[in-house]
Amino acid sequence: MATDIEQGIYAILSNNEDVKFWASSRVYVGNAPQDVAVPYVTFRRAGGQHVQSAAGLSGLAMATIVVQGWTSNYADSKALAKAIRLAMVNGAPDTVGGVKIATIIMQSETDIQQGVVDGEEVGEFAVEADFDVWHSEDKT
């Protein structure tokens, strides 16, 4: 796992019963393995900031986390997206995966479709959601 915040987000998503209903244990940081079965969840850190003052680092940071829930049809992608959204926004405040998370705020949501052939829906569908995750970090 890449960093502490990714460990915390992984714990939130992989331990949530509604997310597990859809994705089982298929929650991945970054890209999913090639040919993975749907449905599955991927997430990545897309940016963030480290809060500091004149005294130095505060121990507070914000990470922008992008989560995608992939399924084989549009309706299921919406259901998985709801499970992800509720897992994330209800995942704070808490200490998960060794990370103290203060709050999680959803910023946006976008539909994604991979694969349309002659107007027919084939392939995979996803909802991509961006979350700002405020969390503690080591000041050293």
Tell me the pLDDT tens digit for each residue of 11-44: 999 999 999 999 999 999 999 999 999 999 999 9
> What pLDDT, in 10s, does the model give residues 81-138?
999 999 999 988 889 878 899 999 999 999 998 876 666 666 789 999 999 999 998 8
Average pLDDT of the chain? 91
pLDDT class for 53, splitting at 50, 70, 90?
confident
19 touches 41 (CB < 8 A): yes
70 touches 41 (CB < 8 A): yes
82's tokens: 């709801």
* CATH 3.40.720.10 correct for 4-136: no
Q: What is the mean pLDDT of residues 60-82?
A: 96
CA-nearest of 34, 54, 61, 30 to 138 is 61
Q: Is the pLDDT of residue 76 over 80?
A: yes
